Amino acid sequence: MKAHIELPQAFGATTDRDVLQAYSADPLHVAMPDAVVRPKNVEEVSRILAYCNEKRIPVTACGNQTSLTAAAITDQGILMSSERLDASWRIEEDTQMPGRWLAFVGVAANLAAFQDDLAAQGFFYPPDPTSRAEVMVGATVATNASGEDSFKYGSTRRWVRGLQYVRADGEVRNVMRDAKQVANGSKNSCGLPIRDSEVDLLIGSEGTLGILTQVIVEVLPKVPDYVSMLVFLNSEQSVLSAVQQIVAEAGPELRCCEYMDNAALDILREHADDFSCPDETNAVLYLKAEFEGDSSLVVESWYTRFESLFSKMGTPHLADAIQVFEDPPGQRRLREWRHLVPATINERAARFRDFGGGKVSSDWYVPVDQIAEMMAEVRRDQGSSKWIVFGHIGNGHPHFNFIAEDLRQYQHDRMLLFKHCEAAVRRGGGVSAEHGIGKKKAKLLETQYSASEVQEMLAVKKSFDPNRILAPGNIFAAHLWHR
């Protein structure tokens, strides 16, 4: 531990090198903290923050460190893990809005376990990030996570009614939004919503305004039935044409509209058990459609739609290649295939970290009517580089993944990322739809927002954390404080 950081023994801080090493990395980045604390309840969080605020000791919060932006690691001061905080949950009918239901959830609750338990009781909580089996509920709120079902259900913000958090000075606050207010579920995880409620300010704030200890989310009183489909196409251009029509005609049944390019399909061809696709396939759409009653009606409707679409494209035979997954085991297998793509990318990228390389991934988004031109612009920069593209095409939010083998290539790919983010903003979109900007992408704050908006966000940060101890480097790059 650095000499200027001293913590009371009662805080249970550890400086053991092996322990610090275990908390020093997310999937893409490394940073060694000076100490790790693992409080067991809100009172301990409060005492630790009050002390650190008085002593000007930096504190960065983390969950299971699945962040891709270095938001949950630090080389400044203390890393505060949420793993020992409350992981329980309970469901209550909303007293302000009878017939609606709320779940009171400890921040350390595992998202998948929470959702699966709710489903067993007949309730449904929609946010569905790919890493749901690894992430804590509190972390999904701190980053405003979304996931594959965001086409219909939006981001986490849409479902958060209230929360408990601890401010930098140790004050414990409980805040709720008006029950009649429907939160904005649009995908934007960059910066602070400066004109919204206190609840909204904390959602997606990446630990910069306070430490979350409990969240209150709205849950639906019925688990919707759905079918999943893989629709194979012969080119990315065909996908983009199809998506424009799908989104224009989409009814409330369409839950998910995702894309995988040929490089992503190569991962499935190589690693996914039981996966198969037509030889001529170069792209695939992954769709979910909800239904009530007879699933055959929604399946027939989508078959008819794609038969017409493929006929216009001159590939009518591809309608016969559509794969439908109606049973839970098949749908789980499809989710595993989908998760295999980013997991494999991260694994490949990690091999080059010691050479200054690694993964550079986009999180930009544009209005869906701009996605074809945006992707054409991005593809023009690809040249001979091998990029892997997948993600939320129906939201105008595909992920471009660059795997750099050395520092020179990493810097080049980062340059392209920033260039493409600027293009997304020009087209009416933004730089981060769901992953946040953390430390590695903090400079993108000024790409999306004007100087005056950034100053307003800084003012909010200063009002919540005047001594700037919380999550240094997250969202706000160091140079902003010297203007």
> So what's the pLDDT on residue 210?
98
381 and 471 assigned to the same domain: no
Domains in the chain, number:
5
325 and 370 assigned to the same domain: no
172 and 150 assigned to the same domain: yes
Cα end-to-end span (Å), the chain: 31
Place of tokens 């216009």: 312
Name the residue among 452, 448, 450, 444 with its Cα closest to residue 476: 444
pLDDT digits (tens, 9 = 90+) for 74-107: 999 999 999 999 999 999 999 989 999 999 999 9
Domain that holds residue 451: 442-482
d(CA 366, CA 395): 8
Which domain-ending residue is among 20, 52, 81? 81
Q: What's 281's domain CATH number?
A: 3.30.70.2190
DSSP per position, 457-477? HHHHHHHH-TT--BSTTSSS-
Is residue 3 one of the residues assigned to a domain? no
Q: Cα dihedral angle (340, 342, 348, 352), rounded to 10 degrees?
A: -160
434 and 447 assigned to the same domain: no
Which domain-ending residue is among 219, 251, 284? 219
Helix (H, G, I), strand (E, B) or coil at 259: strand
Q: What's 412's domain CATH number?
A: 3.30.70.2740
430 and 462 assigned to the same domain: no
Residues of the chain with pLDDT under 50: 1-3
d(CA 275, CA 236): 20
Q: What is the pTM of this model?
A: 0.93
Write out the two tokens for 115.
């959702």
Is residue 457 one of the residues assigned to a domain? yes
Q: What is the DSSP letter of 181?
A: P
Helix (H, G, I), strand (E, B) or coil at 145: coil
> So what's the pLDDT on residue 4?
56
Is residue 4 one of the residues assigned to a domain? no
Write out the two tokens for 324.
């439908």
378 and 392 assigned to the same domain: yes
Q: Residue 390's beta-bridge partner residues?
A: 260, 399
Is residue 311 one of the residues assigned to a domain? yes
pLDDT digits (tens, 9 = 90+) for 436-456: 999 999 999 999 999 999 999
> So what's the pLDDT on residue 3?
43
Contact between 197 and 177 under an 8 Å Cβ cutoff? The reply is yes
56 and 175 assigned to the same domain: no
Is residue 297 one of the residues assigned to a domain? yes
103 and 14 assigned to the same domain: no
Crossing angle for the helix pair 295-313 and 236-249, to the nearest 10 degrees: 130
450 and 429 assigned to the same domain: no
